[in-house]
Structure 1
Amino acid sequence: MTSEVGYGSTPSSDGPVSDWQTDFDHADSAYNRNAPEIWDELRSQCPVAHSERYGGAWLPVTHEHVREIAYDTDNFTSLQVVVTKSRIDPSLAPVGTAPPISSDPPFHKHARKLLLAPFRPDQIAPWEDEVRAICRQRIGDFGDIEPGETVIDAATQYAQHIPPAVISRMLGFPPEDDEKFRGFIHAVLEQVNLDPEVRRETFVDLDAYLDEQIEDHRAHPRDDLTSYLLNAQIGDQQLSHEHVRGSIALLLIAGIDTTWSAIGSSLWHLAQNPADVDRLRAEPELMTFALEEFLRAYAPVTMARLVRDDYDFHGRSMKAGEWVLLPFPAANRDPEFIDNADKFTIDRKENRHSAFGLGIHRCLGSNLARLELRVAIEEFVARFDSFELADPDAVRWSLGQIRGPRELPIRIN
């Protein structure tokens, strides 16, 4: 299978994929659009694909293999979790550039502990009214709806506005900067196969923006996440400026793209499955199970690790410095791990999904993500009795390690 056969999409800037087993590229636009089919094919062939792109990269697609690597902090380092054409200076370990996601043990434990408290369930629950108000405002901004005629983009007009509005409020950043956040996310997470010097310009801009916000908080402290980090300590030491900035970058980027992708994918599913919409309306209690199934079936996040030293992984000779992608969405769809893995079952009772990752880096913002996803779906379904994809072929999926629709035209009926 190649990126040119049966997909009708644009190949990556490094040329078309010749074979997903030996030449995969997650930044090829065919990948996220057809990921479940690609993973199924690879499981029957590999099940650990390899590519020479990005200086060497591996792609395991079974739950067993993804889990094993995610928990193995001895042979795989988290110093860099987004696959690009360049490598970060190894002297930055074990802290990394965006702690705790880029941190290795033993430092990781301390950096993670700092952020667990503000994301506890009792700290996130009070945000529900704010999230609901944001969703209703976005829906109100659609304007007059003409049933059967009006087409809205549920990605660009709805899903992509909710997480930026929430996290900017939590960080104490200007709400008018939401558009900047979307630009940073596109550059950092999607333009991964650009020349390293070109990518570096994006990080210079991002760092400059965050430095400005941090200095404003130093001068005008307030009750928000940014001031919390500025006051935080590890042992008896204040966090370095670089640590504060890196953690804020993590919250800003990882907390936005992952959740808006999950919202968009869930609406993409519902637009094609009116029976599931009807059940959500008739059985509100079903949302408890439906939410976890949306997360399992349309998990957005693939993380990466770097091979620490040459390592034999089940007969695959991984070289030091090569990338290993951890596609948690593929793990969730492994038929050896879960029954009827390829089917969306809205009332699935047993659901041990890995949407929030596995191992020491399991997403610490999962409570916030669940809240935003649930409220976004509830408000959309409550407002529109019937909706469908306006043109399935017009849906455009993301590039890179976060999977979700970037353009999602939906007709309101």
Structure 2
Amino acid sequence: MTDRFAKNYAELRDDQALGTRNEIVTGPVEDWATDFSHLEPEWAADPYPIQDDLRQRCPIAHTDRFGGGWLPTRYEDVAAIAYDTERFSSRSIIMSNFRPPRELAPVGGTPPISSDPPFHQHARRLLLPAFTKTAVGRLEPATRAFCHSLIDGFAGQDVVDAARDYAQHIPMRVIGDMLGFPPEDGPRFREFVENTLEGVNLPPEERIARMEQLFDYLLEQIRDHVANPREDLTTYLVDAEFGGRKLEPSHVAGTMALLLIAGIDTTWSAIGASLWHLAKTPADRERLVADPGLLPTAMEEFLRAYAPVTMARLVKQDMHWAGVDMKAEDWVLLSFPAANRDPAQFDRADEVVIDRQVNRHAAFGLGIHRCVGSHLARMELRVALEVWLERIPAFSLDDPSAVTWAAGQVRGPRTLPLRVG
């Protein structure tokens, strides 16, 4: 069994190395409509004015960076592409200077999020039992206890980095426990996240080498689970069958990588952004402290206003689409954050309205790839905020200029110094 996994990993790495490579032209952007780059510091710091401007004057922006790509900023365009699996492929969902070979479709490197129909449906269905509301509910007591333990750990401090000391650790522990990984490996998970999602500006060879560190770790965990099966998601995937056969090792490892990376960074970012908003908006913080029952509604508004995730697609063939000429293998960035702030879709779209009643946001994506872990993410976000507001009802930004945000396709605070008490 473990030999089969090791052999398949070697083949997968060889396949990935054959992908199309393009050099990135980095540096300042003069016109976001014709030369956008989601890796620039001003985009990480505050992308919303840029998106609002593009939505008005050039709703589908273009860039020659990364070998060519497009950035729709209207909700209707983002939704149309998300639902169109005939003309747009999901085989690579991170826009970078490296395009995996077309042969990876319809499975992709991290199924089901990288999978195209019809394979996608089967890969997604395998995961559903682990992420139902009932299954997630069983994880809530341990999550709540862990949040309390994190706050116990920095009790007495006047200033706390809520991103590094609180937000990041919660999904690391929850996802790590679900997969059956050692709790002490948390710091490695952060490194894997940053290599995968924030290292896209690296030379392709270096990026692949860093990804190999992640897959070497996953292979190590798979070997341990094959030798010592237990009740966790890794053993479940190793034992799972599709069409009467065991899953391909690349499928098992790719899904584990997806759960580890996406499951950590998205929720880490959502928790951090929510605490950032409450720290700088005392009226909202005080209202939630006085009325905890409003938190589920407020939480959905935080997800809308500060949606952390942008996904990529690849154009399957040359075509004229919504007024622009797209070429085969062009990237398309599906900015769910931009869609969520489209005034054609949301009233007072640029405001954070914590009692917003109608809120059909796209923070968890749209179409067949809507986040399979949305129940889990909502539980972690809710519990993290409940515990924080219960234990630390008064807090503010210690130094607004010291807050830093992740660059790339998952945006959230990376440093968030808060003055507590």
- Give the TM-score normalised by the residue count of structure 2: 0.93
RMSD of aligned C-alpha atoms? 1.0
What displacement does 1:32 show? Answer: 2.3
Tell me how far apart the structure 2 counterparts of residues 288 and 186 of structure 1 sit (CA, whole Å): 29
- Please list, as runs of the form range in 1=range in 2, the aligned pairs for 1:59-78 lying within 5 A after superposition: 59-78=71-90
Structure 1 position 268 matched with structure 2 position 276: yes
What displacement does 1:143 show? Answer: 3.4
What displacement does 1:84 show? Answer: 0.9
| Alignment partner, residue 105 of structure 2 | 93
Select 2:239's aligned residue among 231, 236, 259.
231
Tell me how far apart the structure 2 counterparts of residues 385 and 169 of structure 1 sit (CA, whole Å): 29
Select 1:127's aligned residue among 139, 143, 168.
139
Unaligned runs of 5+ residues in structure 2 are 1-23
Tell me how far apart the structure 2 counterparts of residues 77 and 327 of structure 1 sit (CA, whole Å): 16
Tell me how far apart the structure 2 counterparts of residues 130 and 42 of structure 1 sit (CA, whole Å): 44
Secondary structure, in 3 states, of the residue corresponding to 1:223?
A: coil
Structure 1 position 38 matched with structure 2 position 50: yes
Secondary structure, in 3 states, of the residue corresponding to 1:158?
A: helix
Secondary structure, in 3 states, of the residue corresponding to 1:312?
A: strand
**Residues 29 and 398, structure 1, Cα contact 8 Å, conserved in 2:** no
Select 2:70's aligned residue among 58, 77, 99.
58
Q: Percent of pairs identical after alignment?
A: 56
Structure 1 position 396 matched with structure 2 position 404: yes
Q: Deviations over 1:73-121 (max 9, x none)?
A: 0110000000110110111110111100010000000000000111000
What displacement does 1:311 show? Answer: 1.5
Q: Deviations over 1:46-98 (max 9, x none)?
A: 10111100000110011000000000001100000001101101111101111
Select 1:292's aligned residue among 287, 292, 300.
300
AA partner of residue 103 (structure 1): S
AA partner of residue 221 (structure 1): P
What displacement does 1:13 show? Answer: 7.5
Unaligned runs of 5+ residues in structure 1 are 1-11
| Alignment partner, residue 327 of structure 2 | 319
What displacement does 1:352 show? Answer: 0.5
Q: Deviations over 1:229-285 (max 9, x none)?
A: 111111211101111000000000000000000000000000011111222122222
List structure 1 segments (4+ residues) > 6 angstroms apart after TM superposition: none
| Alignment partner, residue 195 of structure 1 | 203
- Please list, as runs of the form range in 1=range in 2, the aligned pairs for 1:222-371 lying within 5 A after superposition: 222-371=230-379
Select 2:130's aligned residue among 118, 123, 137.
118
Tell me how far apart the structure 1 counterparts of residues 164 and 41 of structure 2 sit (CA, whole Å): 18
**Residues 13 and 193, structure 1, Cα contact 8 Å, conserved in 2:** no
Q: Deviations over 1:177-202 (max 9, x none)?
A: 00000001001101111110010111
Secondary structure, in 3 states, of the residue corresponding to 1:411?
A: strand
AA partner of residue 121 (structure 1): K
What displacement does 1:210 show? Answer: 0.3
Tell me how far apart the structure 2 counterparts of residues 239 and 385 of structure 1 sit (CA, whole Å): 48
**Residues 142 and 152, structure 1, Cα contact 8 Å, conserved in 2:** yes
- Give the TM-score normalised by the residue count of structure 1: 0.95
User: Which has the larger displacement, 28-37 or 46-55?
Assistant: 28-37
Select 1:141's aligned residue among 145, 153, 156.
153
| Alignment partner, residue 420 of structure 2 | 412
Tell me how far apart the structure 1 counterparts of residues 306 and 285 of structure 2 sit (CA, whole Å): 17
